Amino acid sequence: MSSGRLYPPANPHPGSYSSIPAASILAQAPIANDYRVTALQPDFTGDLWVGSWAGLSRINPETGRVLQRVRMPSRTLEALAQDRVGRIWVGTFDGLVRVDPRTNVITAQNFQLPSNRVLSLLIDSRGFLWAGTDRGLVMISPDRGLLMTTVRDLPGVSANALALDGNNNLWVGTLDGLVQINTASAFPIREVGRLPGGAVQSLTLGPRGNLWVGTASSLLVVDPVRAELVRSVGTMRGRSVQSVEFDRAGNVWVGTTSGLFKLKPDSGELLGQVPSLPSGQILALSPNTGNKIWAGTSEGLGWVSLTTGEGNPHWGLVSPTVVEALR
């Protein structure tokens, strides 16, 4: 995208969906009141798992075709992760669920979590699953199905976001800032507090080894080695940042409550804003997936063409109000 360019509304029936009749896609749409897409997880086969409050779906990110829908015991999906053998772990407001993608068998995991409200999931370098809740953090062995460790007295209480740094250290975004956790002992090591915007909403490792932190009013860059705030990205000041990801070219995509933006990571220069997504409230991003940038929004799933920079709704996984508005 060129600097400052605003793109025209996308073609309602983009070419990459030409093999899928619009009527058949719409007929597949589940009936639900809330279509927010809160989590996106590419898997080892190249498919994309879409976690929303309307259910869990698996799609082909090249064509957009819905491959399967998994009926979940809880509709409040908030986080997704894939373990080393390909199982999909789903964090909901009612606890953890494991899905076997080969059989669609769902197993509710009755772990003694600090809270059943799971907000974040991450597989560490050893293959253990970390689950962040609004009252703390646990480590689970996916293979044994056992809760191994509970982080007691997590500074900042709520594990809103999780990321590994370049040395495979675990960082937790909380209500008070960042906390580094010793994955062997499960004890907090260091904290980075008093961040502009307060509570951490998103946390991502950048290609140069820094942590990119989204808060309610800022996009921040933190050096995990020194545990210091390096800078605040000026073009994002005053925006509530909910998701940050990098594409293969090294550009940073920033999902906010007021749109999706593409930036140069070094300077923070704004390269463009993406229009025509189902909603301007961006909750999740999956770049480098099916030659697109996939975006979860408050009104459903959308994607960005890497050739035109235009946003498009996924017609089978959006709110009916979006469909009606674009007809």
Checking if the pLDDT of 16 tops 90, the result is no
Checking if the pLDDT of 29 tops 80, the result is no
Sheet of 88-92, strand order: 77-82, 88-92, 95-100, 105-109
Q: Residue 318 has which token pair?
A: 């959006």
Task: Check: CB of residue 2 under 8 Å from CB of residue 272.
Answer: yes
- Write down the pLDDT at residue 20: 34
Average pLDDT over residues 170-183: 97
- Write down the pLDDT at residue 196: 97
Q: How confident is the model at residue 76 (pLDDT cuts 50, 70, 90)?
A: very high
Checking if the pLDDT of 28 tops 50, the result is no
Q: pLDDT digits over 290-304, tens only? A: 999 999 999 999 999
Average pLDDT over residues 32-41: 91
- Write down the pLDDT at residue 11: 33
- Write down the pLDDT at residue 270: 98
Q: How confident is the model at residue 30 (pLDDT cuts 50, 70, 90)?
A: very low
Q: pLDDT digits over 177-216, tens only? A: 999 999 888 899 999 999 999 999 999 999 999 999 999 9
Q: pLDDT digits over 113-139, tens only? A: 999 999 999 999 999 999 999 999 999
- Write down the pLDDT at residue 304: 98
- Write down the pLDDT at residue 295: 99
Better pLDDT: 238 or 15: 238
Share of the chain above pLDDT 70, in %: 90
Checking if the pLDDT of 108 tops 90, the result is no
Task: Check: CB of residue 300 under 8 Å from CB of residue 285.
Answer: no
Average pLDDT over residues 268-289: 97
Q: Supply the pTM of this predicted model.
A: 0.89
Task: Report d(CA 213, CA 219) in Å as an integer.
Answer: 6
Task: Return the sign of the alpha-carbon dihedral for residues 106, 110, 111, 112.
Answer: positive
On average, the pLDDT of the chain sits at 90
**15-326, CATH topology level:** Methylamine Dehydrogenase; Chain H (2.130.10)
List the chain domain ranges: 15-326
Helix (H) or strand (E) holding 27: helix 22-27
